[in-house]
Chains A and B, each alone.
Chain A
């Protein structure tokens, strides 16, 4: 079945450090891939998405490239800020049925 595997957390970084959160997926066909962010006490917010192979999603300095050959969608940011502290979820949507499959989430804490 469809699934998403995410890098285990928690991750703690110093401000301005480089961030990578790994995400790989298993799915039939050509799913769309997403990163959602959840700030403490809030719901999920869409961070970025990519709908086909080699697409790059980007937003707020975060980027992720849809790599079909490695079935990956790793999240990166060149210089993290304290305000980026949150839980990040990788997800896929296989179009059929329109349900999302989420990874377990990676908690990021950025310290000044």
Chain B
């Protein structure tokens, strides 16, 4: 039973480019969460999605960031016109239900903006 998968594991972008981060939840999980981990900090919640719906995006920056979880395929976190401050590790987690409980985390995508 494969866990949460994220790709790419490492992504380098120049300032102004777009970054696309992908997350495939665990089999049977329809709830996906994105977190950002800045250097020397804990994970900060960004967005919570179910299939085709954004449930909570209270942690998403207002500009340049968007997320989707289509009916088919992985969840995508998209960052437009990246800046150096976007350099971080982005983690995806998934769960089977919306009840509080375990979220299973992927290995993360480390984004470096040069």
Contacts and interface: CB of A to CB of B under 8 A. Distances in A.
A12 interface: no
Nearest to B46: A99
Interface in A1-34: 4, 6, 31-32, 34
Interface string B77-114: 00000000000000101010011111111111000000
B28 interface: no
Classify chain B: how many residues form its interface, as a range: 20 to 34
A49 to B, nearest CB: 7
Nearest to A89: B42
Given A98-B98, A98-B100, A99-B59, A45 B105 contact: yes
Contacts of B56: 97-99
Interface residues of A, number: 27
B100 A95 contact: yes
A58 interface: no
B45 interface: yes
B108 A43 contact: yes
B107 A43 contact: yes
Contacts of A102: 35, 42-44
Interface of B: 4, 6, 31, 33, 35, 40-45, 48, 55-56, 58-59, 91, 93, 95, 98-108
Interface of A: 4, 6, 31-32, 34, 36, 41-46, 49, 51, 89, 93-95, 97-105
